[in-house]
Structure 1
Amino acid sequence: MKVQDIMSCIEEFCPLAYAEDFDNVGLLVGNSQQEVSGVLISLDTLENVVDEAIEKDCNMIVSFHPIIFSGLKKITGKTYVERVVLKAIKHDIAIYAMHTALDNSWNGVSDRMCDELGLRNKSILIPQKGTIKKLSTFVPKKDADKVRNALFAVGAGSIGNYENCSFNVEGLGSFQGNEASNPTIGTKGETHFEEEIQLGITFARHLEGKVIQTLHETHPYEEVAYEITTLENTNQHIGMGMIGELEKPINEVHFMTLLKTKMKVPVVRHSALSGKMIQKVAVLGGSGSFAIDAAKRAGVDAYVTADLKYHDFYKAEGKLILADIGHYESEQYTKNLLFEHLTKKIPNFAFILSVENTNPIKYS
């Protein structure tokens, strides 16, 4: 098993194409072709986590948060980031992170928060834009089924809850090859008319390379004419945060107790209670102040996230409860999520769940 194999398994689950532009994801330290003896799965990659990997004979760390976030100009060991990188390199330990790619995944961080809180009827809070694309191409009528089915086989043709979606228009195409051409249909130097199907097919953004490759491999023409456009459709399965519903409405005090119990937090910072019942809840792991307005527009009764500032709580305006449960606490189940996915996809391999608590915030 190589590092690349582990990476591919993770990226089937949360494609890096959906990570936010500001993020730093993927293989941060190490060689993708290195053989893997064991994988340690952690929320963060700190020195104690690297020490744990060494102790447990793991030469790859899969971490939710990237240890290298901005550029490193020097690696001298003066900062905790530099010390982690130095130690990992010294012991040939690869470090991989997926961060906001998993935040934006349908089965990612927010989904796990919903599961822990018992929320159902889930939907994305802030769908990511530009994630649905469309391929338009022209295929000889007799080859249309072959090309279409090949594109379906690599994942094209999916939109929302539907698969094998395409649009097909019959028409007459014309072309004439020059002296350098090698036409598979028609004769060089002569204008040829061919009955064609104009094929339109949607696909997820991260599949673009595979879709284009498949088109060229299955299309009979020497020169394949195609166009790729980005659709404005809302993606139901990619985006930040999630909305769900409790089975039954509960009062605000009971909701705070639920948060403390399920999310294992000693205290919840929240906006003023108003006596309303709580059923529709939005969640977003990590720093989520940017989504307060989206939660209000969604008409939720409560929004659970982390890292809210003093003035953020004013934005509740009596319309919803804003609950800050802590950054680490909101993402604490993420390493379990990764462990469960990897052990299911690659059973009987040395995946180890880190026992190190990397929360930098303590409560007294």
Structure 2
Amino acid sequence: MSHQTGITANEDLLNFFSTCRNGSVRVFRITIEDEALQLGEWQPAQGSWEDDYDCLVLPLLKEKQPCYLLYRLDSEAHGGYEWVLISWSPDDSPVREKMLYASTKATLRKEFGATQIRDEIFGTVQGDVSLDGLRHHRKSATAPLPLTSREEEMQEIKKQEAGVDIGVDTKHQTMAGIAFPIVPEALDAIKEFAEGKLQYVQLKIDTSAEEIQLGSTAATLTVTNLPSHIPESAARYHLYRYDHNYEGDFFYSVLFIYSMPGYACPIKERMLYSSSKNPVTDLLENVLNLVITKKLEISEGTELTEEYLLDEIHPKRNLHRPKFAKPKGPANRGAKRLTRAPKDSLGNGEP
């Protein structure tokens, strides 16, 4: 896929991308020169990321000179450190340069690895990209969206209805799912999975205790060995991080897999797992902030092949659509009927 500007990282910058992930580099500057993304100044880590931020970031910002900064945090996810992408574009810099940097940022994200970038901030003055600016950005990103007067009114009505007594004639919505509690051991494993410390986590429902427990975990697990973790006679939920290359890019795809081996399971178990699936994924995504790339349902582990996972995550587009074929008329419909009377020898037809 072509980029908007056609500007890509030069070889030195690409090599630096590979070496800066070991934790020794705290921040580095990237500029556009000679129609390429080039490495500028960089600084090593000295203290915690908060202590280093202002004293290392702000000196790298030049007047009238747009640039990018990549700042390494101390937190880890997807098997590596998390980074902050800072786009610096002073108001008094040339308009052409500001447009060039704005349209090249997507290329930089892709070549560095978008999964490692936790935050992106943009600034025209130093206060926008300072530590206080970053904190304000994070606070704004997590704040609830403002409500219209109509939405506030409806929210207040729902609060008032919450305490209404329910009688035999009361109508209510059908239960969307059963939310069983997750034991602390399983929650800890999910958090380690989100931090990149585990590649696989299996969850199971204890029907007698009515809680979700930890089945098993694996720090590393290849796709070839993944089917061996799928029980043949019991239902399970699985979290798996599928690390793979596709069309020259490396992806960390988080998969939620619901395995149900058909009628080999008791009917009660099938109903509980089916009813609990949505509450579990809702907890993972909205409470634990786990970004799930794809949700899969399988009946046996042998379905989980490399080809199957790639087709599910990167579906192929049908670029050659068949042309519309005019349908044929009914068979044996006889000779075509004349719509006009035949002409006589003088060329006159019947009216």
- Larger RCO, structures 1/2 (Cα 8 Å, 6+ apart): 1
The structure whose Rg is larger is 2
